[in-house]
Amino acid sequence: MRFFVFTAIKIWLKLLNSIEIRGLENVPEKGALIMAANHLSNADPPAIAAFASGVRPISIMAKKELFKYSAAAWLLRRFGAIPVDRHSEGGAVSALKRALEALKGGGCLLLFPEGTRARGRELEPKSGIAYLAHKTGAPVLPVRIFNSENFSKLGKIIIVFGKAVSFDPGLGKDGYRDFAAGVMEKIFSIEP
């Protein structure tokens, strides 16, 4: 099922755009992994997951509002998406617990450190990415997507998978904000 859905997404994206994917060789086939990407549009999660799914299955952290729509909710649940209540501390904690479980089981998790679409502005990243990397030892793979905010305008979308970085456990909780900011710097240093 996952294969067919992601194949359909790839075809749909290729019909609307020219797509260039680089750096897939940086995605390990096994082991816990956090993919951290910039977020420009609603096309980002399915695009990144669809093209990386040829290497390994991916779970996505997604805002809980997406789970209100029956078709989207069905697909998101089917693929192990983790709902995030961005407006409730308890909801965020619950999402982090589920993300920890997925990573401790050797899964791959796609998240957007800024917590929402940035749309051309830089937002402060959330420290949850550092927490997950620290508690699981999972490396963080920076991913940059270019031009997805124009995905329906027959433009060219470029997705680049960078080189993984790891959280230094010696930093402890005090290093969470700096690590998250460093991940965003890595993402934005990726060239098209």
- State residue 91 phi and psi, 5-degree precision: -65, -40
- The model's pTM is 0.84
Residue-level pLDDT, tens digit, the chain, 192 residues: 666 666 666 666 666 667 888 999 999 999 999 999 998 877 788 788 887 877 888 888 887 887 787 777 777 777 778 888 877 767 778 889 999 999 999 999 999 888 656 665 566 777 889 999 999 999 999 999 987 776 666 678 889 999 999 999 888 888 999 999 999 999 999 998
- Are the CB atoms for 187 and 164 separated by under 8 Å? no
Which burial class, exposed, middle or buried, applies to 16 when counting CB atoms under 10 A from its CB (0-12, 13-18, 19+)?
middle
Alpha helices in 30-158 (DSSP H): 44-52, 70-78, 89-104, 128-136
- The tally of CA atoms less than 13 A away on the side-chain side of residue 176 is 15
* Domain coordinates in residue numbering, the chain: 2-189
Tell me the fold of 2-189: Glycerol-3-phosphate (1)-acyltransferase (3.40.1130)
**CA-CA distance, 52 to 67, in Å (whole number)?**
23
